[in-house]
Chains A and B, each alone.
Chain A
């Protein structure tokens, strides 16, 4: 019951937030410099055609009316029509969303698997060169610009070694390089978090007592400690989801990966307001959902934390 109340309250707050985001979006588009009608029409179009396009985009209407239209359309599940292509925004986003999700999920998997692995390794090997190396890798991982890493990966694996495709999404192993690029910073973060919490847990009394019972060290380390040490990992994944998505935008550009990130960049470059609005809106919803899920999972996994309010 308490949970339902909490969830209800969160949802209402989220809804209000979304409305705020939309209002800001519509306001923003008024401020953007550059005339989208001329950009879309091209150099050779006459001014009458440009004026017609401008009118059909509804750009000459006041902010509140545009805002009203957006909300009205939204209630019908319609996010508007792309100014650049004339196709429904929802359709374009729906086509590309799976690609970005695929990238995010694979990147997260890489981050969790290798991050936890390295973190545990460093914790178990604390004080040796292994820990230093992992720690160094960790700092380097979060310092690395993801687009540079992407370019380096392309140069090494696609151009020099020719093991993997350079870009695009057409073959089965096209996902590898982009996912690695996106996942690296997550690996760094998770390895550091896992390392810290593993060290904490390893020092705790109950682990010592398990060890005293005589089970081999490996079992003690991996089954008992890991389970508890994974708690912060969950939180971190949720926190870092935003970073992952930001990295996806850049990674998709470098690798020509047809996700929403690439669409966002193209739309901003083309001043396609409706598309930018739609994408930001979808992002906002994704963030809110991930936030709520992370909060909930956090309470489920660690009963010491209570839900307030």
Chain B
């Protein structure tokens, strides 16, 4: 098992990141030319991509695709099972579930995207700096990252939401912060391994400034890993955001966020289980899509990630 690494902070390095461990030994699909072709050859990844495309299109084109308004109530049609008029049925206020899921996708996808963007913008530089500079700076950042990592993204986000208050902005910030440690770890690892590389020393000896070395060499090498991690972590972000919504601490009703819909629907579990089953299914499928696509990206772009 060669993906353990003792790092300079004095701890036994955990096999970094469970995600890497899980991908050990996956078939070496990267054979004949082209990263894109490798991706497409991976059936699971293609399924994931298709799922994502469907949901993204549904979210963007929602106003065109459904005659119903997601907040349109119809008190006479409360809790109707799926029918020709309402393909997925109606919820406790008579609103069309399909419309709500499609419009709700906007929340879900935007939150996921923005949260991960936040994490990348903060985590990548921090990780690079930490790995390259080493010393005290590294030690402090590593300690904090360790705590955040072990605390688990959801609990971190929950604690942050308690401080920041509820609502979509808080969720984005809380989830984003929760995911930051993943990126710190990632780019720190890249920085550490590249630090040894000869050409950085060569560049240093030519008088190039530290900042420009960081920027050009390290970042360029890390880009594909960052893309893969970002994709995988959008799924995590969505799960966490929906979890907060489920607890009533995320996006608030009457917004059609899927986790919030799950929570509203859980009270009808006996009489109308579809009111919570469908939003949950939506979360599951989208996260699945990001996971499959992310795995495929990793296999295609950077098999090194598997070996660590």
Contacts and interface: CB of A to CB of B under 8 A. Distances in A.
A136 B44 contact: yes
Interface stretch (B78-86, B188-196, B280-288): B280-288
Interface in B3-22: 4, 6, 9-12, 14-15, 18, 21-22
Contacts of A83: none
Nearest to B12: A295
Interface in A124-158: 135-136, 138-140, 142-148, 151-152, 154-155
Contact of B288 (A143, A192, A232, A280): A143
Interface residues of A, number: 74
Interface residues of B, number: 57
Contact of A139 (B146, B249, B273, B295): B295
Contact of B25 (A21, A196, A269): A196
Given A195-B25, A197-B24, A151 B280 contact: yes
Interface in A251-309: 253-254, 264-265, 268-269, 276, 280, 283-284, 287-288, 290-291, 294-295, 298-299, 302, 304-309
Contacts of A92: none
Main secondary structure of the interface of A (DSSP, over half): helix
B23 A246 contact: no
A159 interface: yes
A9 interface: yes
Given A140-B288, A196-B26, A152 B150 contact: no
A74 interface: no
A112 interface: no
A10 B22 contact: no
Contacts of B128: none
Contacts of A291: 146, 150
A197 B152 contact: no
B165 interface: yes
Nearest to B242: A145
Given A200-B25, A250-B246, A294 B14 contact: yes
Given A239-B14, A268-B158, A287-B151, A196 B269 contact: no
B25 A145 contact: no
Main secondary structure of the interface of B (DSSP, over half): helix
A148 B283 contact: yes
Interface in A224-247: 231-232, 235-236, 238-243, 245-247
Most chain A beta-carbon neighbours within 10 Å: one of B11, B21, B22, B146: B22
Contacts of A242: 149-152, 155
B143 A283 contact: no
A287 B10 contact: no
A21 B242 CA distance: 26
A283 B154 CA distance: 13
A10 B11 contact: yes
A238 B150 CA distance: 9
A259 to B, nearest CB: 14
Interface stretch (A26-34, A41-49, A53-61): A26-34
Nearest to B8: A308
A151 B276 contact: yes
A280 B277 CA distance: 32
B162 interface: yes
Given A31-B163, A295-B14, 18 more contacts: A13-B143, A32-B162, A139-B295, A143-B291, A148-B277, A152-B277, A155-B277, A159-B273, A197-B25, A231-B1, A235-B21, A242-B149, A246-B153, A246-B158, A250-B154, A268-B162, A299-B12, A306-B6
30 contacts: A9-B10, A28-B163, A32-B163, A140-B284, A143-B284, A143-B288, A144-B284, A144-B287, A145-B239, A145-B243, A145-B246, A147-B243, A148-B280, A151-B273, A151-B276, A154-B269, A155-B273, A193-B24, A197-B24, A199-B25, A235-B14, A243-B154, A246-B153, A249-B154, A253-B246, A269-B249, A283-B151, A287-B151, A299-B12, A308-B10
